[in-house]
Amino acid sequence: MARRTAPRVKPSLYISVDVEADGPIPGPYSMISFGAAVAGRQDADGYEPADPQARTFYRELRPISEDFVPEALAVSGLDRDRLIAEGSEPVDAMAEFGAWVREVSTGAQPVMCGYPASYDWTFLYWYLIRFTCASPFGHSGCFDMKTLYATKARLPLRAVAKGTMPPELHSKRRHTHHGLDDAIEQAELFNNLMAWPGR
């Protein structure tokens, strides 16, 4: 009887994404900017980190709604009137982003990673489907760094905050609430978490 060989698993390319939005959910509120940085690649032989500054993407978007939460808008420091006048049209920005993801992930399956991924993924996936009718990540290609740390640290998820992490896991970069800055910072955190043996 012929012996079965294990199916070849396609590598994963992890892309750190950070979203800035003017409210809690997409649709009634708008994603006003987002940044992405390639963090690294994983295959059957292990994880290989990338230089997060080497392959990046950033756009500021025209709002899709008149509604916004002033406190949420203030976090990003972006000027809403300027975005209305000068921001990229979401349909163009999301098409460009989808093309960029497909280009950088040639030969691999792209996976969005974030801290926490839930908020950023909600906006990113909604915008991709709403404006391009497709997601290069599929419907579930996201990875939550908070969960990764909780698992490796053997902690309940609700006990986890960045301040509870060992200092050596943190990026040396400041968290600025600029989409690209924070995507790069989070990519460095992801690389450190992937290398960390845990507790």
Enzyme catalytic residues = 177
| ω into 116 cis (within 30 of 0) | yes
Decide if 194 contacts 43 (C-beta within 8 A).
no
